[in-house]
Structure 1
Amino acid sequence: MLSYRILLSLAAPGLALRLLRERPFARERLGLNGPDRAPGPAIWLHGASNGELASARPLIERLTERRPDLAIVATSNSRTGRALVESWALPRVSARLAPYDYRWTLRLFIGRWQPRALVLIESELWPNRIFEVAQRGRPVLLLGARLSARSAGRWRRMPALARRLTGAIAYLSAQDPASQERFAALGLAPERSGPVIDLKAFAPAARPDPDALKALAPLLPRTSTLLAASTHEGEEAPVLEAFARRWRADPAARLILAPRHPRRAAQIAALIERAGLGHALRSSGGLPGPERPVLLADTMGEMALWYALAGVSFVGGSLVDKGGHTPFEPAAAGSAILHGPHVANFAAAYAALDRAGAAEAVAGADGLVTALAALDGPEQIRRAACASDVLAGLRARAPGPDTLIDALERLIGTPPDKAPDKKDPDDG
């Protein structure tokens, strides 16, 4: 724990600069921004950004329905995540940027909101945040929990901290069986482990901006448009190689290239040029066309638009070992699914899709070229419909958000427990 606090001290200058850039939200980062309403029972729910918070929306909606006595403060590390929660306009739900993981900022935040529990979505394992809540006798829940083999290896190099961290988690529901096993290996007690539930399976389909869809649809004919969604470094080059071969055979072909991290846009633009392709830059208002068949989608929060425009979607994070991204979003948009071999984050879903012929694994540029050649308009529609049926079947058989709310209520009590908080462990 000492080494973690030293790292936080070293990071302080960079965080100070970030505060200057986020000046309108600086008070939130410092834990100084309190509730919009009179203080009362609250749940603190945290997700890193849009994807995690979107997956938590069904959970938030059911919790507000079942527990009208509770408020929810939903925090995010990004302003786009904060804006997403605000756009829902859900009753008794407040959106904030998460306080930095310093003990003093967390104590200010906890003191203002008085959360009865902390609910973390997916993989947000901030030690001070977890310990400051748990040490006050308030439960910490990790839902949709994901832990990659690489992350588990890093935690194994800090066994004492890992044991303390897992010991502070009151309840964990993993996204996949492999993550559940990794948390158990780090010390999570079996009685604190709930069923495997993939929150993304229950998230409502995001809707694209209708004006943007209307403007771009004539320039990106759906049956001729490939989306490379949430790509990582090492994936764009084979995708561009495959698309260049397709475009030279069919000049009507179009590619939407949406990297996971838009800050890599300049690096990706160089790869596009090297592939002999012209491109339009979304952040600059560029439009695709015959001389610019690639749209480099270097913006945040528009993935629903890209899925709506593409008849075929290659889901990134799967040609390189990042575990793959969700198949639920392209399936909901009616886009046929291609993916690489690394899909551990959604292994059960992709296995079911592949078995049913609703998705197809490709190993590189050659495989992608072959797969695209077989995906004409009718086949795109058939595969997308099949994928929707397969994933609906998985949802129907899986425990849902109510299972997780049941676990939360067992921990916080219903009706709300009136016992006073435990004494702050660092006070006198």
Structure 2
Amino acid sequence: MLLYRCLLSLFALVVLVRAARRDGLAGLKARLGHGPVVDAPHVWLHGASNGELASVRPVLTRLIAARPDLHWLITTNSATGQQMVRTWDLPRCSVRPAPLDLQRVSRRMMRRWDVRAHISLESELWPHRFAACPGPVLLLGARLSAKTARAWSRMPRLARQLLAQVRLASAQDADSARRLAELGLPDSAQGPVFDLKALYEPPETTPDAALTHAFPRTQTWLAASTHEGEDATVLDAHAALLDHAPETRLILAPRHPQRAEAIARAAQARGLTVARRSLHDAPDAQVYIADTLGEMALWYRLAGRVFIGGTLTDRGGHTPYEPASFGCALIHGPDTRNFAAPFARLAKAGAARQVAEAEALAEALLALGPSQHDAGLRAREALRQDSAPGDFVARILATLPAVGKS
């Protein structure tokens, strides 16, 4: 625990400086657990970013409806995640920036918000927060990669103490469930394997007329959540594709929008015309850089073919569930370890194409042109969740305490 506290203290300094610079005194206070509260018993639910929170929404709405005696404190690390949850307009929910996992801060949050239970999503494992919770701790959609498990195994005592606090852990895949058990998750806490992202429900997003006109779905492909090192491959593939299908449009949505200027220069160096969403450019260029946050559903709705970013680098890949839910034909690189199970299902169903370089990406895009609709339907069917959420929600409800008992 001493090593964890030392590392966390250094991390806390960086986070607090950034919060103060971005949001001033209010941002600093929020990270330290201060700010306005709602006087009611709460379940504290935490997800790192938009993807995790979006995945739990179908479960969350059922939990809220089933427990009108509870309020919900939802925290996340990103401003766009906070805004996204606020747009859901869920009853009895408060949205706040995620506080630091410092011992005093965690205790303050539990006390001020009258927290009765804590739900953590995916890879969010926080020792001080779990230890400070007076009620049950739940892990939903828990994901523990081999690399992360090795890191925790270097602190075996801390890992056991952390997981001893968990009352229910539902892993998103069998490998994560096994690794959690090996690190010390009690047998009594081991819940069903259930991938929350398979419950993703497309939001009601309606592109404006200019975008709909500029990006016919049959002629548009999306490079979604690309990382540095992938953009060159995407741009080379698009340049090659234009030789055979000059009407094709590319929407390039980088994982980190601050890279947009460098991507624009790389596209222009290849002789491609460029427009940027953040600059309100007219969407009439060969490459449209979607350098904004929180709009991925819009781009999925416009594009008939999607290359899934993070799969040509060592990032492990991003979710295939979201583009599949929009009926997009899927293309990806070889690194899919973050979503090994769903990508395996796609491969078994012949519902996604794997590529490794620009020429193969261009060929896959060209081949999918006439058949993208059918390919998208196969992808959607391959990733349909086998288990209904009803039984899963019932298991969670059985773990949550009654009000008046902490």
Q: CA deviation at 1:149?
A: 2.1
Alignment correspondent of 2:242: 247
- Tell me the distance in 1 between the aligned counterparts of 2:314 and 2:10: 30
- Confirm or deny that 1:331 pairs with 2:324: yes
Q: CA RMSD in A?
A: 2.0
Aligned match of 2:387: 398
Partner of 2:290: 297
Amino acid at match of 1:374: A
Is the 2:200–2:322 contact (alpha carbons within 8 Å) kept by the matching residues of 1? no
CA–CA separation in structure 2 for the residues paired with 1:267 and 1:3: 38
For 2:304, give the aligned amino acid. Answer: G
> How far 1:417 moved relative to its partner?
5.8
Contact in 1 for aligned 2:223/2:309 (Cα 8 Å):
yes
Report the TM-score, using the length of structure 1 for normalisation. Answer: 0.88
Residues 62-115 of structure 1, C-alpha deviation per residue, up to 9 Å, x if partnerless? 101111111111111111111111111111111111112222222222111111
- In structure 2, how many angstroms separate the alpha carbons of the residues matched to 1:91 and 1:311? 35
Give the AA of the match of 1:331: A
Q: Which amino acid aligns with 1:412?
A: L
State the shift of 1:173 in Å.
Answer: 0.7
Paired position in structure 2 for 1:363: 356
> Quick one: structure 1 residues 213 and 323, their matched pair in 2 at CA, closer, same or farther if it must change by over 3 Å?
farther
Q: Does the 8 Å contact 1:213/1:305 carry over to 2? A: no
For residues 236 and 88 of structure 2, the distance between their equivalents in structure 1, rounded to whole angstroms, comes to 40
Q: Which residue in the other structure is 1:320 paired with?
A: 313
Report the secondary structure of 1:374's partner residue.
helix
**Equivalent residues in 2 for 1:22-421, closer than 5 Å:** 22-23=23-24, 24-36=26-38, 39-133=39-133, 136=134, 138-208=135-205, 210=206, 212-289=207-284, 292-377=285-370, 379-392=371-384, 395=385, 397-400=386-389, 402-413=390-401, 416=402, 418-419=404-405, 421=406
- What is the alpha-carbon distance in structure 2 between the residues aligned to residue 233 and residue 163 of structure 1? 36
2 CA distance for matches of 1:6 and 1:270?
42
1:236-278 residue CA offsets vs partner (Å, 9 max, x unmatched): 2222221111123332221111112223333433433444423
Structure 1 351/10 Cα, relative in aligned 2: closer, same or farther at 3 Å?
closer
Corresponding residue SS for 2:368:
coil
**Number of residue pairs aligned between Structure 1 and Structure 2:** 404
- Which letter maps to 2:280? G
Kept in 2, the 8 Å contact 1:197–1:399? The answer is no
Q: Which amino acid aligns with 2:374?
A: R
Q: What amino acid is the match of 2:375? A: R
Q: Which moved more, 1:49-58 or 1:13-22?
A: 13-22
1:405/1:18 CA distance change after superposition, 3 Å:
same
DSSP-derived class of the 1:230 partner: strand
Letter in 2 for 1:256: I
Matched-pair contact (CA < 8 Å) for 2:70–2:403: no
For 1:265 and 1:126, locate their aligned partners in 2 and report how far apart those are by CA, in whole Å: 33
Tell me, yes or no, if the aligned pair for 1:59 and 1:405 is still in contact at 8 Å. yes
By how many angstroms is 1:40 displaced? 2.8
Give the CA deviation at 1:172: 0.9
TM-score (norm 2): 0.93
**Is the contact between residue 312 and residue 335 of structure 1 (CA under 8 Å) also seen in structure 2?**
yes
Output the CA distance in 1 between the equivalents of 2:155 and 2:188.
23
Cα shift readout 1:305-348 (whole Å, capped 9, x = no counterpart): 11111110011122223332222211222221111222233333
* CA distance in 2: counterparts of 1:190 and 1:262, whole angstroms: 43
The unaligned stretches of length 5 or more in structure 1 are 422-428
Instruction: Report if the CA contact (8 A) 1:34-1:112 is conserved.
Output: no
On the 8 A contact 2:42/2:113 being kept in 1, the answer is: yes
The answer as to whether partners of 2:251 and 2:289 remain within 8 angstroms in 1 is yes
For the 8 Å contact 2:210–2:283, the answer to whether it is kept is: no
Consecutive unaligned residues of structure 2, counting only runs of 5 or more, are: none
Equivalent residue, structure 2, for 1:426: none
Per-residue Cα deviation, 1:270-295 (whole angstroms, up to 9, x for no partner): 43344442321211112343xx3111
Q: Which amino acid aligns with 2:330?
A: I
| 1:217 Cα deviation from its structure 2 partner | 1.9
Matched residue SS, 1:233: coil
1:319, 1:386 → 2: CA distance? 23
In the other structure, the counterpart of 1:424 is: none
Deviation at 1:162, TM superposition (A): 2.0
Contact 2:200 2:325 (C-alpha < 8 Å) held by counterparts: no
Using a 3 Å threshold, how does the CA distance of structure 1 residues 351 and 9 change in structure 2: closer, same or farther? closer
Q: Displacement, 1:13?
A: 3.9
Asked if the contact 2:103–2:128 (Cα under 8 Å) also holds between the matched residues in 1, the reply is yes
Q: Is the 8 A contact 1:283 1:298 kept in 2?
A: yes
Tell me, in whole angstroms, the C-alpha distance in 2 between the residues paired with 1:328 and 1:13. Answer: 36
